[in-house]
């Protein structure tokens, strides 16, 4: 009888998941070569045909490009949007939110009137002041995404560094945990497509009205209470990748 914890993921997908995560985490950077089919075959003890399938899947994901005489090269600088999930996964595994070659500039920080959806998430009245931190994430080619984090107004007193445009060592989650003991245990993301408004266009170097991916996310503590409500936007041509397992329903 098979045990409940046996990994039934096809061998090629087990390799794809490992390489994909290394690419999204930035451990394998844009311009780096990934292992050749022969190297993949030897390292993971799979057939050459299965190794070819690994490369083909990563190409289909838009993460790599195969160049004759060169090899298979990572291409993510202009094609990938690292989601809130990707950044949290990286922080939990490495202690760093941003992938190598990426950095954030805090463009604004302070108290601001909370729009309705943020007020609902934070449990305050619409228009009441909440802590807002806005940032633009860049790589060497320019803006990648823009995002805004919102926090309950009590955080203005508890963690006054949230009101400053300086980077917070260890990130905002560490600062909040240190003061309050609250730690994110679950998260939710939702996304839609929209048109860039004036601020989004300026942040991302786009024309007003250009198509953009718009996301909202919340981080919850062990009691289900929202620690942070976030919003983010990225320009056209960037892909957000999500992988998930589908189990049988009883």
The answer to whether the beta carbons of residues 64 and 75 sit under 8 Å apart is: yes
What are the helix and strand counts (H, E) for the chain?
8, 8
Rg of the chain over all Cα atoms, to the nearest angstrom: 20
Name the least confident of 86-100, 101-115, 172-186: 86-100
Q: What is the mean pLDDT of the chain?
A: 89
Cβ neighbours of residue 118 closer than 8 Å, sequence gap 6 or more: 130, 150, 229, 231
Task: Inform me whether the pLDDT recorded for 4 exceeds 50.
Answer: no
- Which residue has 């949007």 as its token pair? 81
Specify the 3-state DSSP secondary structure of 211: strand
Q: Which among 89, 104, 117 has a CA at the least distance from the CA of 214?
A: 117
User: 1 falls in which pLDDT band (50, 70, 90)?
Assistant: very low
Q: The whole model's pTM is what?
A: 0.81
Distances (CA, A) of 90 to 18, 20, 25, 99, 231: 13, 13, 6, 8, 19
Residues in the chain: 250
pLDDT given for residue 245 in this prediction: 73
Task: State the average pLDDT over residues 144-173.
Answer: 93
- Residue 213 CB neighbours (<10 A): 19
Angle between helices 48-60 and 11-25 (to 10 degrees): 40
Q: Which of 31-45, 143-157, 169-183, 196-210 has the lowest mean pLDDT?
A: 169-183
Of 95-99, 146-150, 171-175, the one with minimum mean pLDDT is 95-99
Q: How far is CA 232 from CA 4, 46, 63, 237, in A?
A: 38, 40, 22, 16
* Ranges 92-106, 124-138, 190-204, 218-232: which has the least confidence: 92-106
Tally Cβ neighbours within 10 Å of residue 73: 14
pLDDT of residue 2: 42
**55-59, 211-215, 236-240: which has the minimum mean pLDDT?**
236-240
Nearest residue to 30 via CA among 65, 75, 83: 75
Residues 6+ apart with CB under 8 A from 223: none
DSSP code of residue 214: E
Q: What is the mean pLDDT of residues 213-228?
A: 94
Q: Is 53 left (phi over 0), alpha (psi -120 to 50) or beta?
A: alpha
CA distance 61 to 144: 19
Please, what are the domains in the chain? 11-74 (1.10.10.10), 84-234 (3.40.1410.10)
DSSP 180: H
Structure tokens at 42: 């030897």
DSSP-assigned beta bridge partners for residue 215: 191, 232
Q: Is the pLDDT of residue 3 over 80?
A: no
């Amino acid at each position: 009888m098979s045990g409940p914890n046996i990994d039934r993921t096809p061998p090629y997908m087990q390799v794809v998941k490992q390489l994909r995560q290394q690419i999204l985490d930035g451990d394998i950077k844009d311009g780096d070569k990934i292992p050749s089919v022969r190297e993949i075959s030897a390292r993971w003890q799979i057939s050459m045909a299965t190794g070819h399938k690994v490369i083909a899947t990563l190409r289909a994901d838009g993460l790599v490009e195969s160049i004759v005489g060169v090899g298979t090269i990572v291409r993510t600088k202009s094609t990938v949007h690292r989601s809130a999930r990707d950044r949290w996964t990286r922080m939990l595994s490495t202690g760093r939110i941003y992938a190598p070659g990426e950095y954030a500039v805090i463009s604004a920080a302070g108290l601001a009137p909370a729009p309705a959806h943020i007020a609902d998430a934070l449990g305050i009245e619409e228009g009441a002041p909440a802590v807002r931190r806005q940032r633009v994430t860049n790589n060497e080619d320019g803006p990648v995404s823009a995002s805004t984090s919102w926090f309950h107004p009590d955080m203005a007193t508890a963690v006054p560094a949230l009101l400053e445009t300086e980077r917070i060592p260890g990130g905002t989650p560490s600062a909040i945990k240190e003061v309050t003991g609250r730690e994110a245990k679950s998260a939710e993301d939702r996304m839609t497509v929209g048109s860039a408004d004036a601020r989004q266009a300026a942040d991302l170097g786009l024309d007003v009205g250009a198509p953009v991916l718009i996301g909202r996310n919340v981080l919850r503590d062990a009691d289900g209470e929202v620690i942070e409500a976030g919003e983010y936007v990225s320009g056209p041509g960037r892909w957000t990748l999500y992988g998930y397992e589908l189990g049988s329903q009883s």
